[in-house]
Amino acid sequence: MSDLKEHLTFTPIKSIKPGVDRVRKGFHSTQRSHSLQFRLNQLHFRRSVVETKFLEIGGGLKQVLHMMSKLEEFAKPEKVIDIPSTMQNQPVFIEKIPLGVILIISPFNFPLILSIGAIAGAIAAGNAIVFKPSESTPRCSEIFTKILSDALDPDFFFAVNGGIEETTELLNQKFDKIMYTGNARVGKIIAQKAAETLTPVILELGGKSPVIVLDDIEPEKIPMIARRIAWGRFMNCGQTCIAVDYVLAPESIKDALVKEMVRIIKEEFYPQVKSGHADYTHIINQRAFNRITGMIDNSKGNIAVGGDRDENTCYIHPTIIDNIDWDDSTMEDEIFGPLLPVISYTDLKKEIKELTSRHDCPLNQYIFTNNPNRSENKDLDFTLKSVRSGAAMVNDVVMTVTLSNAPFGGVGQSGYGSYHGKFSYRAFSHERTFIEETLATDDHLSWRYPSVTAEKEKLTAKDIPNDMVIPSESVWFKRYDDVPPAPRNDKKSGANSWNDFISRLFK
């Protein structure tokens, strides 16, 4: 921790509560964040159109631009249709209102894009923000928090730098929502602390995202598949929450797939890679380095390529370990490093059962098949139905995170809640039902006041469709087997009418 403090000025503990109180006061007292123009001004990074088009290559800025261009659309109240006839004269809307003060805790592996995306969504939704970046990237956190603090309104933004002690003090404050991206252990701590004040949480946690290769793959497709898998595993030195974590491959093609991935690593992707290489990302710190090299050293599989390391620079060469089983050291937890275990199988259903019993609910799953048509491919359909995941891809990897207009998030052990684009706006807003009523007259509401009359019964009956299907008693009270099909209303005889159903229901 002392080394971190040499590069990163930690926020004094005593200033954390006043900082949180400041942005909460800014949110409640001024109400400036309710203005769409104020939100746009906060999101704008003040660069010319030409330069923006030329320089706008980062996913984080792409999310900001998407949020700015769609803000009015996202904020527009939604009109509720199909309302009771007794309320036809009353405008009914769903409006999106800001939640209040949002705490955003971001990780080290993509310190900009994973921070900007969440911050942009929270700002667009009209909230005040407390931001805690990772202490594991001290130089980036120091510069980034200074830029944001200078650019954003201090009444609506407060940055906290620090480690466990500072984060603990932050969690002692009251927030209206917390978003955390990181590992499951810390995610559980945050969720438990948030539960004390009924604070909702978005958790983006990761997990062991598998590649599942089906047995219909044609041999000539193996190089393409190997290239995509290798990229999805080793980009950013494997330190990606949706990286390929391991491969399940049919025994019939597993050797050819491993051989091709080894060739791609040696000849195409990393032919000159060694410790200190500027174009190859290294492991974030010594603790992570020791954890990953421990997996490699304790594995009972065969190292097909890699295994080389340099403790001084936290360098680990891209490594593939072949011929492992589910009890291997590489299969216990999310790897989060440049290590790819490969398991062969002969029975897909048996292997999927093993997968779901050990590592259910990954953040993503990647399936490679010659036939991506789910309705025709029973193995593909079976796999997608069996493995619950935050997202899924067929014949590619990782790219789900790049979408600005689709939800990104986990399920089960990989987290809960989602964001990106309109889903960020929804995540950081409260959808409030809003009804406008008149005080000009009370006649249109007389149906709801005592006492009951025949005229009032007629009014309420208008909201029951003539062709409404009324289920028989067996649907409601005798569910021993499959629910029987409900009979249709017989308009001529009046059989099974609404009144008849109600009378039988309360006999």
**pLDDT tens-digit readout, 432-463:** 999 988 887 888 788 788 888 888 777 777 66
User: Which residues sit opposite 434 in a β-bridge?
Assistant: 93
DSSP state of 91: -
> 487 and 496 in contact (C-beta within 8 Å)?
yes
Flag whether the pTM goes above 0.75: yes
* pLDDT score, position 86: 73
Using DSSP's 3-state secondary structure scheme, residue 261 falls into: helix
pLDDT (average), residues 218-234: 97
Burial bucket for residue 346 (CB in 10 Å: 0-12, 13-18, 19+): exposed
* pLDDT score, position 1: 47
Residue 65, pLDDT > 80, answer yes
Please enumerate in sequence order all residues whose Cβ is within 8 A of that of 266, keeping only pairs 6 or more positions apart, or say none.
305
Please report, for the domain that includes residue 344, its CATH number: 3.40.309.10
Is pLDDT larger for residue 83 or for residue 72?
72
Q: 312-328 b/e with 16+ CB inside 10 Å = b?
A: eebbbbbbbbbbbeeeb
User: Which residues sit opposite 309 in a β-bridge?
Assistant: 316
Residues 165 and 16 occupy one common structural domain:
yes
Nearest to 427 by CA among 204, 206, 194, 152: 204
**Would residue 109 count as lying in a domain?**
yes
User: Which residues sit opposite 105 in a β-bridge?
Assistant: 132, 180
Q: Which percentage of the chain shows pLDDT scores above 90?
A: 62
Helix count (H) and strand count (E) of the chain? 18, 20
Residues 191 and 233 occupy one common structural domain:
no
Residues 56 and 183 occupy one common structural domain:
yes
C-alpha dist (Å) from residue 89 to 79, 86, 457, 507: 13, 8, 19, 36
Residues 188 and 236 occupy one common structural domain:
no
What is the tens place of the pLDDT at every residue in 154-164? 999 999 999 99
Is pLDDT larger for residue 475 or for residue 276?
276
The HSE-up count of residue 434 (CA atoms within 13 Å, CB side) is 12
Long-range contacts of 417-420 (CB under 8 A, 24+ apart): 417/179, 417/200, 417/201, 417/202, 417/203, 417/204, 418/202, 418/390, 419/117, 419/118, 419/121, 419/179, 419/202, 420/63, 420/117, 420/121
* pLDDT score, position 42: 57
Q: 109-137 b/e with 16+ CB inside 10 Å = b?
A: bbbbbbbbbbbbbbbbbbbbbbbbbbbbb
Q: Per-residue confidence at 90, pLDDT binned at 50, 70, 90?
A: confident
Residue 362, pLDDT > 90, answer yes
Please enumerate in sequence order all residues whose Cβ is within 8 A of that of 16, keeping only pairs 6 or more positions apart, or say none.
160, 166, 169, 170, 173
> 142 and 7 in contact (C-beta within 8 Å)?
yes
Please report, for the domain that includes residue 18, its CATH number: 3.40.605.10
pLDDT (average), residues 409-436: 95
Residue the block writes with tokens 């009523």: 437
Residue 495, pLDDT > 50, answer no
* pLDDT score, position 41: 60
Residues 229 and 283 occupy one common structural domain:
yes
* pLDDT score, position 56: 36
Is pLDDT larger for residue 478 or for residue 113?
113
Residue 282, pLDDT > 50, answer yes
* pLDDT score, position 18: 77
Residues 311 and 351 occupy one common structural domain:
yes
**Would residue 438 count as lying in a domain?**
no
What is the tens place of the pLDDT at every residue in 323-337? 999 999 999 999 999
Residues 180 and 62 occupy one common structural domain:
yes
**Would residue 412 count as lying in a domain?**
no
Highest average pLDDT, of 16-30, 191-205, 479-493, comes from: 191-205
Residues 353 and 449 occupy one common structural domain:
no
Residues 343 and 428 occupy one common structural domain:
no
* pLDDT score, position 441: 81
**Would residue 501 count as lying in a domain?**
yes
Residues 37 and 122 occupy one common structural domain:
yes
Owning domain of residue 116: 2-205+423-432
Nearest to 158 by CA among 179, 132, 178, 134: 132
The two tokens of residue 271 are 């032919």
Burial bucket for residue 14 (CB in 10 Å: 0-12, 13-18, 19+): exposed
**What mean pLDDT value characterizes the chain?**
86
What amino acid positions are annotated as catalytic residues? Answer: 204, 241
Please enumerate in sequence order all residues whose Cβ is within 8 A of that of 321, keeping only pairs 6 or more positions apart, or say none.
296, 299, 301, 302, 303, 304, 328, 330, 339, 340, 341, 342
Handedness of CA 237, 241, 242, 248 (dihedral sign): positive
Residues 333 and 353 occupy one common structural domain:
yes
By residue count, the chain amounts to 507
Using DSSP's 3-state secondary structure scheme, residue 282 falls into: coil
Q: 270-292 b/e with 16+ CB inside 10 Å = b?
A: beebebeeeebbbbbeeebbeeb
Least confident of 155-169, 394-408, 452-466: 452-466
**Would residue 464 count as lying in a domain?**
yes
Using DSSP's 3-state secondary structure scheme, residue 110 falls into: coil
Residue 55, pLDDT > 80, answer no
**Would residue 408 count as lying in a domain?**
no
The two tokens of residue 14 are 């005593």
Strand order in the sheet with 177-181: 157-159, 128-132, 101-105, 177-181, 201-204, 415-416
Domain count, the chain: 3
* pLDDT score, position 385: 97
Residues 387 and 448 occupy one common structural domain:
no
Task: State the Cα–Cα distance between residues 128 and 33, nearest whole angstrom.
Answer: 8
Task: State the Cα–Cα distance between residues 204 and 413, nearest whole angstrom.
Answer: 10
* pLDDT score, position 45: 39
Please enumerate in sequence order all residues whose Cβ is within 8 A of that of 463, keeping only pairs 6 or more positions apart, or say none.
84, 85, 86
**Would residue 52 count as lying in a domain?**
yes
Long-range contacts of 442-449 (CB under 8 A, 24+ apart): 444/86, 444/89, 445/86, 447/86, 448/86
Q: Per-residue confidence at 26, pLDDT binned at 50, 70, 90?
A: confident
> 318 and 352 in contact (C-beta within 8 Å)?
no
pLDDT (average), residues 161-168: 95
At 451, give phi and psi (nearest 5°). -100, 170
**Would residue 416 count as lying in a domain?**
no
